[in-house]
Structure 1
Amino acid sequence: MKKALLFLNGEPPKCLPNFTEYNFITCTDGAFLYLKERNFPVKKLDFISGDFDKRNKEEEHFSELIAYEHLNFIHTPDQNKTDFEKNLEILIQKKITDVDIYGGSGKEMDHFLGNLSVALKFKDQIKITFFDEFSSYFFAEKQTVLEDVKDKMISLYPFPSVENITTKGLNWELENATLNQLDKISTRNFAKENLVEVTFEEGNLLIFVDVN
């Protein structure tokens, strides 16, 4: 397993993970400024990717970036893809199998929804887990096991639907249920066991796990 840490330009994380767990550490150009402001050791960044847009309010930010000549910048100017999508493509080329995402939510909600759509597109090529102040979340495999989760809040969110979902270890269990954004979802549940199992047959399922 080769694992990467990726910072996006959403809500800056209040706590940073253990850097030694990762083979690669990277960020989009929009996330670089908040990392610098939080005294992140920028020399640990393996690369920074993005379109490095100089327009309007980004001009000062761009100047901050180019001042760090020792850093590895990968210019990705394709405006038909998001910076998140282009960064994932680079990580896949580098044979990364797992990536933890910080800054994927918060700020503009269209970015958050866009990030989820990108994660859905790439879920079969690389394992993507988002982290924010409240939870970790990811697109589940059809057989998913959650460990060390007793008493944590668990939300199961169809994207947009899931067929024949069954759970084991939750306070309110599901058995061969159908979840749909317009009909029935399963949020704000919690784990009554340390091990929670989730299985389903068809569809796409987001699982949110409380980090507190």
Structure 2
Amino acid sequence: MNKALLFINGEIPKSIPDFNYPYSIISCTDGAYTQYVYKYPIKINYISGDMDSISLPHIPQDIPFIITPDQNKTDFHKALEILINKGIREVDIWGASGKESDHFIGNLSTALFFKNQIKITFHDDYSIFFFTDKKTKLRGVKNKIISLIPFFETRGITTTGLQYPLNNDVLSFATRIGTRNRACLDEISVSYSQGELLIYIGK
């Protein structure tokens, strides 16, 4: 399995990921470790970052540190580079949203940058969200809120199984975006021809 779990330093999750899932790597940035990860009953493979956010009185001696001092990149960006270099092709992210909104927007930008190199799924207490491929099917979503967010104009969007279906439609920032739709079926499909599309699935 080439799937990882990564914690970053956004809003502290109230819910806890499934630590029984057989992740190849479980890691976190230094700020996430300081804020909440050290409280979890899990083994962290390593901590990464520029180490400007480690402030615990007792720095863990049994967890490797990967120091990434490049200030031209965020700790999230550098954490993804590490995972890609380790052969990881899919990652679940916790702690990307909440707190400072500029960090959250920056995290979305980083995810879009790496979209073709690693499959990134964000998780928080309210939803999961990800940049989708041009064709995707979602299962187990009946009655859940589904939002389709274009980056920044997405053409040829067609859906099945949604309360308000789209048929070769265009979504665009500042004109029309696809928030607060709802899944009518347990399995829905979303496809598009041009642009990028972020999908939110409410929990």
- Give the TM bin, normalised by the shorter chain: over 0.9
Q: Which of the numbers 60, 71, 74 marks the counterpart of 1:79?
A: 71
The structural deviation recorded for 1:134 is 0.8
Aligned residue for 2:86? 94
Once the two structures are superposed, the pairs formed by residues 18-57 of structure 1 within 5 Å of their partners are 18-21=18-21, 22-36=23-37, 39-41=39-41, 44-53=43-52
The structure with the largest helix share of the pair is 1
Percent of matched pairs sharing the same residue: 51
Cα distance, 1:62 vs structure 2: 3.3
Q: Are 1:52 and 1:62, in contact at CA under 8 Å, matched by a contact in 2?
A: no
Which blocks of at least 5 consecutive residues in structure 2 are unaligned? none
Instruction: Give a deviation string over 1:144-170, Cα, whole Å, max 9, x none.
Output: 110000000000000111011000000
Q: Is the 8 A contact 2:34 2:56 kept in 1?
A: no
CA distance in 2, matches of 1:98, 1:64: 33
How do residues 174-193 of structure 1 correspond to structure 2 at under 5 angstroms?
174-193=166-185
CA–CA distance in 2 between the matches of 1:152 and 1:3? 25
Partners of 1:182 and 1:13 in 2: CA distance? 31
Q: Which runs of 4+ in 1 moved over 4 A?
A: none
2:110 matched to 1:118? yes
Aligned partner of 2:10 in structure 1 is 10
Separation of aligned partners in 2, 1:19 and 1:96 = 18
Structure 1: stretches of 5+ with no match in the other structure: none
Task: Report the Cα distance in structure 2 between the residues aligned to 1:30 and 1:209, rounded to whole angstroms.
Answer: 27
**TM-score between the two structures when normalised by the length of structure 2:** 0.96
- Number of the residue aligned with 2:155: 163
| Per-residue deviation, 1:63 | 5.0
Contact 2:34/2:55 (8 A) holds in 1: no
Q: Take 2:20 and 2:27, find their aligned partners in 1: how far apart are those partners?
A: 14
**AA partner of residue 14 (structure 1):** K
Taking structure 1 as the reference length, the TM-score comes to 0.92
- The C-alpha deviation readout for 1:35-66, integer Å capped at 9, x for no partner, is 256x2135x1001000011xxxx5xx43546x
Change (3 A) 1:160 1:64: farther
Measure the CA separation in 2 of the matches of 1:164 and 1:154.
Answer: 18
Q: Paired residue for 2:55?
A: 62
Which amino acid in 2 is paired with 1:48? Answer: I
Contact 2:49 2:67 in 1 (8 A): yes
Moved more, 19-28 or 107-116: 19-28
Structure 1 partner of 2:100: 108
Give the aligned residue type for 1:184. R
Taking the aligned partners of 2:165 and 2:191, their CA distance within structure 1 comes to 12
Partners in 2 of 1:172 and 1:127 — Cα distance?
A: 27
Deviation at 1:34, TM superposition (A): 2.3
Q: 1:188 to 1:82 in 2, by over 3 A?
A: same
Aligned to 1:154: 146
Q: Provide the aligned length of Structure 1 versus Structure 2.
A: 202
Q: Distance in 2 between matches of 1:132 and 1:63?
A: 24
Secondary structure, aligned partner of 1:115 = helix
Q: Secondary structure at the match of 2:166?
A: coil
RMSD: 1.3
